[in-house]
Structure 1
Amino acid sequence: MASPLDHLGGEEALRRLVNRFYDLVETDAQGAQIMRLHFRGHGLAHVREEQVNFLSGFLGGRRYYEEKHGTMDVRLMHNHVPIRAEDAEDWLALMDRALVDCGHSGPHVERIRAAFRRVAMILVNR
């Protein structure tokens, strides 16, 4: 059975999606707070790679993030970051734009969007 990652077009398509998302984070006003939050950690170059690693496993592909860090616990990963509902909504809006910009559509993308929304709202801690 094909995974959500397969439906996106595999790891290269995922890498393009993540890079488009972070290009938007870096250039769109809606990404300003996300940028500030990332600079509390390791910065965007680091997070681009780790996001690909995490989303690969999250979307049913190889679990690179877990292989490297021993966990896929998103709450643990973001525990040190003060995340407001507005931050989660900004993240979701920019990821939605990245999905559109990369030409992704259809029922599999709607399921991915719903999964992203569930996780983003779980991470709200402020």
Structure 2
Amino acid sequence: MQQQLPSVYQQLGGEDGISRLVDLFYDIVEQDPAAAALHVLHLDGHGVAHSRVEQTRFLMGFFGGPRLYVEFHGHSDVRAVHAHVPVTAETRDIWIRSMDKAFDQAGLPPEVKKRAMKALTTAAHLVHDVNPLGIAHERP
């Protein structure tokens, strides 16, 4: 019988580990000049403090833990969550690079980072360039 891997939620250290990862991520977004375009998107929305809370809730469920985001918002559709945000290829890639840096700073095992980043990268590509009407935000 094949043994089941622990969830990414468990591998990241549960709620505390995900909260730490999200804090590292948003510290990068706020402080790294290379993430300035992503920071502006968050300032145009509900702000970074709000995003820290909501992303922690979202990632807990996304990675196999408690589905707090669903409890608060009724769904966890990543495309719907970001439908109002003009996510370009540039900001998507900044998001991916910033999260990659956060994983490095968290000092997580490479196999955990690889597993989590694969799922996050897939989600980031789903979010890119979508709004409620499915109209592209990016200009040619």
Range of TM-score over shorter length: over 0.9
Does the residue aligned with 1:39 lie in a helix, a strand or coil? helix
Q: Which runs of 5+ in 2 are unaligned?
A: 130-137
Deviation at 1:27, TM superposition (A): 0.3
1:1-126 alignment, distance < 5 Å: 1=4, 2-125=6-129, 126=138
Q: Which moved more, 1:42-51 or 1:108-117?
A: 108-117
Q: Match of 2:52, SS? A: helix
For 2:72 and 2:106, the matched residues in 1 are separated by 28
Give the Cα–Cα distance (whole angstroms) in 2 for the partners of residues 36 and 106 of structure 1.
Answer: 30
Question: How many residue pairs are counted as aligned between the two chains?
Answer: 126
Report deviation, 1:121: 0.9
Q: Of Structure 1 and Structure 2, which has the larger fraction of its residues in helix? A: 1
Q: Which amino acid aligns with 1:104?
A: L
Give the C-alpha shift of residue 36 in structure 1: 1.0
Identity among equivalent positions (%) equals 42
- Please report how far the alpha carbon of residue 108 of structure 1 lies from its aligned counterpart in structure 2 after TM superposition: 2.6
Deviation at 1:105, TM superposition (A): 2.2
Measured after TM superposition, the shift of residue 79 of structure 1 is: 0.5
Q: Secondary structure at the match of 1:82?
A: coil
Deviates more, 1:21-30 or 1:104-113: 104-113
Whose radius of gyration is greater, 1 or 2? Answer: 2
Q: What's the TM-score, normalizing by structure 1?
A: 0.96
CA drift of 1:29 comes to 0.9
Alpha-carbon deviation of 1:16? 0.6
* Structure 1: segments with no counterpart, 5+ residues: none
Structure 1 runs (4+) deviating above 4 angstroms are: none
When the two chains are superposed, the root-mean-square deviation of aligned CA atoms in Å is 1.0
